[in-house]
Copies of this chain bind each other. A is one copy, B any other.
Amino acid sequence: MPFSFKLIKRANDSKARTGLIKTNHGEIETPIFMPVGTQATVKAMTPDELKEIGSQIILGNTYHLYLRPGDELIAEAGGLHQFMNWDLPILTDSGGFQVFSLSDLREITEEGVHFQSHIDGSKHFISPEKSMQIQKNLGSDIVMAFDECPPFPADFEYVDNSLERTIRWAKRCQAEMEGTDQALFGIIQGGIYPELREKSVKEMVELDFPGYSIGGLSVGESNEKMYEMLDFTTPLMPQDKPRYLMGVGTPEDLVEGVFHGIDMFDCVMPTRIARHGAVFTSQGRITVRNATYKKDFTPLDHACDCYVCENYTRGYIRHLLKRNEILGVRLTTYHNLYFMLDLIAKIREAVNNDNLLIFREEFYHKYRN
């Protein structure tokens, strides 16, 4: 059995759940946060460091890897796991989100999407079948269906037509992936229209995927609207399948997402802000690159027990960041990912202990942004 999901606990006081995903490359406790390794590397981190901080699964980007170094080269190297020396589970996106973000450089047809590379303007075509073929070459454990992520805002009719096509594409993806042991997730769209979210869930669930992603959120709508959509959508989804909220989120999003019934998260934000000198602390986000921290010889976060907080000071890390020293970005990245993985582990524990509401209250009591 290459992929399975077992529900472990359902909270009494919220939609939160815990569970266990099994894959050929190991198990994943849910809810989980997935660090993003866009170009076959989680920026600034080794695979060993990722394991050290409790990463159970990472995400790879189909669009970037298809363009460079090419999915065929990665297949020659033995697949993405072997290419990048990561032997735990990998989830790959479909490339759709990146291609649709190219706006002026792409044209959507029923067959697929014609687009020009953002790098050299070269012409490419990705169809649902092509996206699956690339993800087969990458050899990821969890594969995303090729969907359209409509722009925000988009009117009801556009979103409706788009999600109809996404459903037709999902069937083509399913056909293309038949016989592999990679788990294909169907993607629920529908923008901020409850009626369309409901329709999308219904049609996707009929196709019986091993897991479901929720797309098209955190794309410009307010946080309240996003949580409202989750609150509406997750109860329509099957309890016995994992639910992945794509491209989300912040520390607050993890707390709220789990509260609203989400099992999996990914986001580039923790690593991206790290490269700009910002870090999470139990009291909220700080920009350690700022002059305020020049002579601050205390850890990034007093409440944190990660390698960085046990060995380095804000003043030293600020110095490194100001000098553009690689070690500076290494330390902020390591700490931020640790913060996210530690937070999700604590959330998991709170759900298992029927304690999420209290945990949530205590979290917000300290964490202010």
Contacts and interface: CB of A to CB of B under 8 A. Distances in A.
Interface of A: 39-41, 43-47, 68-69, 73, 76-78, 83-85, 294-295, 297, 311-313, 315-316, 319-320, 322-323, 325-327, 329-330
Contact of A322 (B68, B76, B83, B316): B68
Nearest to A334: B46
Given A85-B311, A316-B85, A329 B330 contact: no
A316 B77 contact: yes
Nearest to A64: B323
B330 A326 contact: yes
A189 B283 CA distance: 56
Number of copies: 2
B39 A325 contact: yes
B294 A44 contact: no
A326 B326 contact: yes
A323 B83 CA distance: 15
Contact of A45 (B40, B69, B83, B327): B327
Given A316-B40, A319-B68, A46 B330 contact: yes
Nearest to A327: B41
A81 to B, nearest CB: 12
A295 B73 contact: yes
Q: At the interface, is chain A mostly helix, strand, loop or mixed? A: loop
Given A39-B323, A43-B326, A84-B316, 11 more contacts: A39-B319, A39-B320, A40-B316, A43-B325, A44-B326, A44-B330, A46-B327, A69-B319, A73-B294, A73-B315, A76-B295
A323 B73 CA distance: 15
A295 B78 CA distance: 11
Contact of A323 (B68, B78, B294, B330): B68
Contacts of A319: 39-40, 68-69
A98 to B, nearest CB: 15
Contacts of A83: 313, 315-316
A63 to B, nearest CB: 14
B69 A294 contact: yes
Contacts of A294: 69, 73
A41 B295 contact: no
Contact of A77 (B44, B78, B315, B323): B315
A69 B313 CA distance: 14
A136 to B, nearest CB: 19
Nearest to A45: B327
Contacts of A43: 325-327
A84 B319 CA distance: 10
Contacts of A329: 326
A89 B188 CA distance: 58
Contacts of A327: 41, 43-46
20 contacts: A39-B320, A39-B323, A40-B319, A40-B320, A43-B325, A43-B326, A44-B330, A45-B327, A46-B330, A68-B323, A69-B319, A73-B295, A77-B315, A77-B316, A84-B316, A85-B312, A85-B316, A326-B326, A326-B329, A330-B330
Contacts of A315: 69, 73, 77, 83
A246 to B, nearest CB: 23
Contacts of A44: 326-327, 330
Nearest to A319: B69
A305 to B, nearest CB: 16
Nearest to A69: B319
